[in-house]
Amino acid sequence: MPNKFIVILAAAAVLVAVGAVYGKFFAVERCPPTGVIREITVTAKKDGWRFTPEEIQADCGDKLAFTVVNEDEYDHGIAIDAFAISRRMPKESTIEFEISLTKAGEFPYYCSVPCGEGVVDGVKRTHFDMIGRIKVKND
Ligand SMILES: [Cu+2]
């Protein structure tokens, strides 16, 4: 029968090891504010079923000040799940919001309002093609 103290020590060591592995491979990297504010304009061009740009790069800790333009005669939406954003974009309107990038990684933004489909330059595009990503690096 092993000493109770040794069993507790072994259990604690396992917990610390699991925590270290989790922190290295799975945990979200958090970071403090950098004080940088990046002005980002995202446009849903008329009958394009595409957000422009489809990639935004920033540093962890930055703030993004979004201006999102809907040029269409029908509604779109923009959702960024990682930062709890979900906004409707009424037809021919511009909306604004800010997010603080408190974590590093790649986070998608996408159209959250079913908006149909069409053919753009001979290629079929749909609501589901309205997707982009925010690449947040932490160095
Ligand atoms: Cu849309």
Beta-carbon contacts of residue 98 (< 8 Å; ≥ 6 apart): 63, 64, 65, 66
Cα(104) to centroid(ligand 1), Å: 26
Cα(38) to centroid(ligand 1), Å: 24
Task: State pLDDT tens for residues 39-74.
Answer: 999 999 999 999 999 999 999 999 999 999 999 999
Cα(75) to centroid(ligand 1), Å: 7
Residue 96 structure tokens: 């604004």
pLDDT higher than 70, residue 23: no
Confidence of residue 1 (pLDDT cuts 50, 70, 90): low
